[in-house]
A and B are shown apart, each in its own frame.
Chain A
Amino acid sequence: QVQLQESGPGLVKPSETLSLTCTVSGDSISGYYWSWIRQPPGKGLEWIGYIYNSVSTNYNPSLKSRVTISVDTSKNQFSLKLTSVTAADTAVYYCARDQGYCTNTICSGWFDPWGQGTLVSVSS
């Protein structure tokens, strides 16, 4: 059974860099897509980006200039860095395995499992 666990500072100062790590247990991180998703307090879910096998990344266009996702296969972890944070980046940050398939006519994608989430507040 795959399990994910986010870790990192719960408080970041404005203009600094938010750094989080997701540790994957129960399976190898290689060969899968892994995503970061966030949820501001009282609001909906926002996809941040994904990484695949250390070589392929895709980021939400609204965050692309500030986001980097990387993988450490030796530790079975992947990480998120978000630069120049503001109060608007205060959110619960989740990591999740990103899965999917395509047939000739249609595709399907889903996130499963998810980590429990970690609250990151941006404040001086």
Chain B
Amino acid sequence: SSELTQDPAVSVALGQTVRITCRGDSLRKYYASWYQQKPRQAPVLVIYGKNNRPSGIPDRFSGSSSGNTASFTITGAQAEDEADYYCNSRDNSGNHLFGGGTKLTVL
């Protein structure tokens, strides 16, 4: 199928580690990219490729992939990491796909 599935909501205690997952058949051929979106702001790329961070993105953010599942991990979550996170990939026709988004709450 050409869909990406994310859990709608995840919570993490301050300073702990949290993993957000994204599932879809396209992830067997494409690495996922990950975006952080805070309220009333544009999405920001945080992870791309195998596990690459754009300049300025904290190194507590990381990505990984196995089979049809991509994961985004925050090691030592901070209050400012509270946001919506979206995964993105492509299907076999080159069409972009987005997951439905995961709302991360930092407790």
Please list the residues of chain A having a beta carbon within 8 angstroms of any beta carbon in chain B. Answer: 35, 37, 44-47, 50, 58, 60-61, 94, 98, 100-101, 106-117
Contacts and interface: CB of A to CB of B under 8 A. Distances in A.
Identify the interface centre among A47, A108, A110: most chain B CB within 10 Å of its CB: A110
A44 B100 CA distance: 6
Interface of B: 29-31, 33, 35, 42-45, 48-50, 54, 86, 88-90, 93-101
Given A108-B50, A112-B48, A112-B54, A47 B30 contact: no
Contact of A112 (B45, B50, B95): B45
Given A47-B96, A112-B48, 19 more contacts: A44-B86, A44-B99, A45-B35, A46-B98, A47-B98, A94-B42, A94-B43, A108-B30, A108-B31, A108-B48, A110-B33, A110-B48, A110-B49, A110-B88, A111-B33, A111-B35, A112-B54, A114-B42, A114-B43
